[in-house]
Structure 1
Amino acid sequence: MIGVIGGYGDVGRHAVLALRRAGHPVRVGGRSATAAAEFLARDLPDDPAVEHQTVDARDAGGVESFAEGLDVLVNCAGPSHLTGSTAADAAFRAGVDYVDAAGDDALHVLLDDGRYRGAGRRAVLSAGLRPGLTGLFPRAVAHWARAAGAAYLDTVTVRTRVVDLFTTTSALEYLRGASDPGAGPLVAWRDGAPRPRALTRRTVTDLPFFPGTGTELPQLSAEDARTARALGVRDGDWLTLVQGEHVLAAFDRVHVLPPQEAAGRLCRAARLDLAGRLPAVTMAVVLTGDTATRTAVLHGSGNAPLSGAVAAHAATAVLRGEVPPGRHFAADVLDPEAALTALTRSQAPDVPPCARIELLPDGADPFAPDAVAEVGAL
């Protein structure tokens, strides 16, 4: 059985539904028994393979009791810097493997890798959209490039646009990630290392796969730096495309505000910019190597569905013994192609997949006007 703390929340409910579609019994946890019961009655009525139990992710004893009888505990309650270490330690004491839909570098340092390996236990962190899928997708594209004959990879460009709401938790997670020591605005990967102020923000209009006018914000995160090292590229650009004046203005102010106030501003700005639009995620990865260019574009249905699906896939991989003992980042330890397959495959007749992928012909420049046609899909 797999337990999901925060299992009726924004990300957690998608993780629970994905796990049930994959056939896993699930225990749903959270602070509100009423909210859990309402979620199950609405989305999983009369399902004998689902149970719920009240638990607070910050209560070590409560999490340990919740984890009894589980094989894997998934933490979707946040922000993870306030819940992750407590939940992970409680799961360890209960003899249960651990997956965190968030979990930053600070939590990675707190969890002793040797302790996990010695006990034969596993902890997988950053198993969401960003970080998580943003590290897995470039690795999958690299596999496809090498399969097409590339002996080595030289450069990578990753453009990401998320059109969605912020919850207070996701806003706090974003602010935490943006303050990581490995992160930085205007930083790019140059000659195998981060280079400050290598790029500038710019206004763009009707880029392929990104219609409309927006602002490209260069920023290299700790996960991006790990991805660059894993790919072995010399140079790399990671660009976030923001389309909406309110979120852009909030991004420019939140770093000088107290966390709760900054999170509130991000939530309000996202609501204003999303008005009349559907949530969506677009990620375009362009890799150049010794022989050709390989490009792929991921289209997703929103932050919560993708994050929940990645967390569910990570838990399934742990359960199947596909993750070795130790503590890991999801993008470093999961099979990227298997993860993408899980996201792009419909697991029920009436449930569409939460993502689809376009593959451009080898050598195509996706940002040239003649390179926008969809050539293949996974």
Structure 2
Amino acid sequence: MTIDLAIVGAYGDVGRQAVRHWLRLRNGTSARLRLGGRDPDALRGLAAPLRDAGHAIETAVVDVFDRRSLDAFVADARVVLNCAGPSHRIRDRVAVATLRAGTDYVDAAGDDALAQALPAPQGDGRRVLLSAGMRPGLSGLLPRWLALDMPRPRRLTSHIGVLDRFTVAAAGDFLAAGSEGDSTTLAAWRDGLRQRTLRRLDDQQVPGFPGPVTLLPYLDREAERVARATGIREGDWYSAIEDGKVLSVFERAHTIPCNEAIAMLRLASAVDLVGRQPRVSITMQLDSDDDSRGVRVQAGGNGSLSGAFAAVASDAVARGATPVGIHHAADVLDPSATIACLRALHVFDAFVVVEGHPSRLWHAEEGAL
């Protein structure tokens, strides 16, 4: 029997949320879901309450480093979603097995390196969607959503802050992104070029953040794609870090051995989270010569947003709502439909839209227009 969606890494932080939101999207249908990972006990624990709720759930132990295991897992699936990590170690293994089976593929991570490693689908109509998480993913879609119906946008400013625990996979991917050249620190977009023109800003107040943050400028490949797609002349992207142990580790993570840095990031993030709930805060402002539009987003952690975005992307692929070939999710998903779907899934704790002068972002309340 055909499986509608097969999820690799189904019981991880992102995978669990993808499962939950995909089942909500398919509520009332006879959709079949296959959950995969290396730990059979974790799979059984995840599947049992879902089956009790009446969902058609299959489980399968799968090792992403074993070709036969992967081939068996992706067989007879309509779409495969990879939520396993760290993505810099898994690289193209799940994607290649999926394409070998003639199946559509979605990756909650994966950026340019994965896109370049994959063979182009050869006339078989396969759809491959990469970077389908919070960042990259939602972080690249929100500016496109802001740019809808705005003639000649000129400048974008983005602040993204995450207060959450670093998993081993997330810490490894963070360190790999910095060392493999995907992101340039202190860089900004200026008239079609990547220029190191910004500096670190300490003790900054940013709308949507509960207290002072340190702003670390960066420019990655997703940001460049956003700049080219929207036609902006100036773009500033910042990671907004609340004062704490994680910030101190960030400052020296790339100067110490990888395993030690991963352990330090995990411990620091756990300490910073004591007495607080996981939170993602995003504030973006897009300006043209005649108009300004801003958005403030808050949600309960990276796993929640990434899993929801991956589920919506997988559903879009299954419906044929994305073009054939290899694409980054934010480049091809319909911004209006995707944001509307995420809001209908109630993944945002706050989603504030502000039209007009940028100062209104400081005072806007939920639902402001």
- State the TM-score, normalizing by the size of structure 2: 0.94
Q: Structure 1 runs of 4+ off > 6 angstroms?
A: none
Deviations 1:117-150 (A, max 9, x none): 522111111110111111011111111xx2xxx3
Task: Give the equivalent residue in structure 1 for 2:46.
Answer: 39
Secondary structure (helix, strand or coil) at the match of 2:359 reads coil
Alignment of structure 1 residues 1-378 onto 2, 5 Å: 1-23=4-26, 24-42=31-49, 44-45=51-52, 47-113=54-120, 116-143=121-148, 146=149, 150-196=150-196, 198-346=197-345, 352-366=346-360, 371-374=362-365, 376=367
What displacement does 1:192 show? 1.8
Amino acid at match of 1:363: H
Shift of residue 99, structure 1, vs aligned partner: 0.6
Contact 1:366/1:372 (8 A) holds in 2: yes
1: CA distance between counterparts of 2:348 and 2:119? 34
Mapped to 1, the partners of 2:189 and 2:19 lie a distance apart of 37
- Aligned partners of 2:298, 2:108: CA distance in 1, in Å? 20
Secondary structure at the residue paired with 2:166?
coil
* Matched letter for residue 6 of structure 2: G
- TM-score by length of structure 1 reads 0.91
Take 2:366 and 2:22, find their aligned partners in 1: how far apart are those partners? 31
1:243 Cα deviation from its structure 2 partner: 0.5
Name the structure 2 match of 1:349.
none
Q: Is the 8 A contact 2:285 2:358 kept in 1?
A: no
**Aligned mates of 1:377, 1:26 — CA distance in 2:** 38
Deviation at 1:205, TM superposition (A): 4.4
Query: In structure 1, what is the Cα distance between the partners aligned to 2:243 and 2:66?
Result: 39
Closer, same or farther in 2 for the Cα pair 1:364/1:205, shift >3 Å?
Answer: closer
| C-alpha deviation, 1:7, in angstroms | 0.6
Q: Give the whole-Å Cα distance in 1 for the aligned partners of 2:176 and 2:348.
A: 26
In the alignment, structure 1 segments of 5+ residues that lack a partner are 347-351
Closer, same or farther in 2 for the Cα pair 1:56/1:157, shift >3 Å?
A: same
Residue by residue over 1:204-227, the C-alpha shift from the partner in whole angstroms, topping out at 9 and shown as x without a partner, is: 344321121221111111111111
For the residue of structure 2 that corresponds to 1:276, the secondary structure is coil
Give the drift of 1:377.
6.0
Q: Hey, what's the Cα distance between the residues in 2 that align with 1:215 and 1:272?
A: 18
Distance 1:237 1:8, change over 3 A: same
What is the rounded CA distance, in whole Å, between the counterparts of 2:348 and 2:282 in structure 1? Answer: 14
SS state at 2:135 partner: coil
- Per the alignment, do residues 240 and 120 of structure 1 end up closer, same or farther by CA in structure 2, a change over 3 Å counting? same
Q: Distance in 2 between matches of 1:159 and 1:44?
A: 40
Counterpart-to-counterpart distance in 2, 1:354 and 1:42: 25
Q: Distance in 2 between matches of 1:107 and 1:225?
A: 17
Report the Cα distance in structure 1 between the residues aligned to 2:351 and 2:342, rounded to whole angstroms: 10
The alpha carbon displacement at 1:376 in A equals: 2.4
Deviation at 1:104, TM superposition (A): 2.4
Higher deviation after alignment, 240-249 or 41-50: 41-50
Q: How far is 1:162 from its partner?
A: 0.7
Shift of 1:25: 2.1
> Using a 3 Å threshold, how does the CA distance of structure 1 residues 252 and 366 change in structure 2: closer, same or farther?
farther
Q: Tell me the alpha carbon deviations over residues 247-302 of structure 1, each in whole angstroms, 9 at most, x when there is no partner.
A: 11111111122322221111111111111111111111101112111111111111
Could you list the per-position Cα deviations for residues 135-188 of structure 1 after superposition, in whole angstroms to 9, with x for gaps in the alignment? 011111111xx2xxx320110000111111110001111122223424111111
Give the AA of the match of 2:143. Answer: P
Q: Are 2:227 and 2:235, in contact at CA under 8 Å, matched by a contact in 1?
A: yes
Q: What RMSD over aligned residues (CA atoms) do the two structures have, in Å?
A: 1.7
Gaps in structure 2 of 5+ consecutive residues: none
SS at match of 1:138: helix
Q: Distance in 1 between matches of 2:348 and 2:106?
A: 20
The amino acid of 2:151's aligned partner reads: A
User: Is the partner of 1:286 in helix, strand or coil?
Assistant: strand
Q: What is the rounded CA distance, in whole Å, between the counterparts of 1:40 and 1:361 in structure 2?
A: 44
Identity value in percent: 41
Cα distance, 1:43 vs structure 2:
5.1
- Which secondary structure does the structure 2 equivalent of 1:288 belong to? strand
Q: What code does the residue aligned with 1:133 have? A: L
